[in-house]
Amino acid sequence: MSVQAVIFDMDGLLLDSEDFWQQAEFEMFSSLGVPLQPGDTHKTLGWRCDDVVRYWYQQAPWLAPTQAEVAATIIDRVIAPSSTVADCYQAQSKPCSCVRRLDYR
């Protein structure tokens, strides 16, 4: 069987975004009154954002914003610093050029 396509799971492949996720979650949930310590975000490491929000809402419910709005805000906070990391662009060039050189799609 020959390789006909290459799929990149971008979260963590070219840029380790876990610190961005943990910081965004800690700041957001703390601002909503959820009693967190910085290390508490490790409890939900690797979870989908909506599941993380649901978990912390069950621990310490807040009135507003909605869970969907909280998840969207967390995602926005992760995207902002992730997209400005200069090393990301250099890291992208190696695997992408390799795929192009091998003529994968």
The CA distance from 92 to 28, in Å, is: 30
For the chain, the structural domain boundaries read 10-101
The pLDDT value given to residue 79: 81
Beta bridge partners of 15: 11
Rounded Cα–Cα distance for residues 49 and 43 (Å): 13
Q: List, in order, residues 6 or more apart from 65 with CB less than 8 Å away.
A: 73
40 in active site: no
Look at residue 89 in the predicted model and tell me its pLDDT: 54
More confident call, 60 vs 86: 60
pLDDT in tens, 1-22: 676 676 665 556 566 778 889 9
Is residue 9 annotated as part of the catalytic site, yes or no? yes
**What pLDDT does 96 receive?**
66
Q: Encode pLDDT of 31-55 as tens digits.
A: 999 999 988 999 999 899 999 999 9
User: Which residues are CB-contacts of 71 (< 8 A; sequence separation ≥ 6)?
Assistant: 49, 50, 52, 53
Active-site residue (options: 11, 16, 19, 76): 11
What's the pTM?
A: 0.70
Among residues 45, 27, 49, the alpha carbon closest in space to that of 36 is found at: 27
The CATH number of domain 10-101, selected from 3.50.30.60, 3.40.30.10, 1.10.150.240, 3.40.47.10: 1.10.150.240
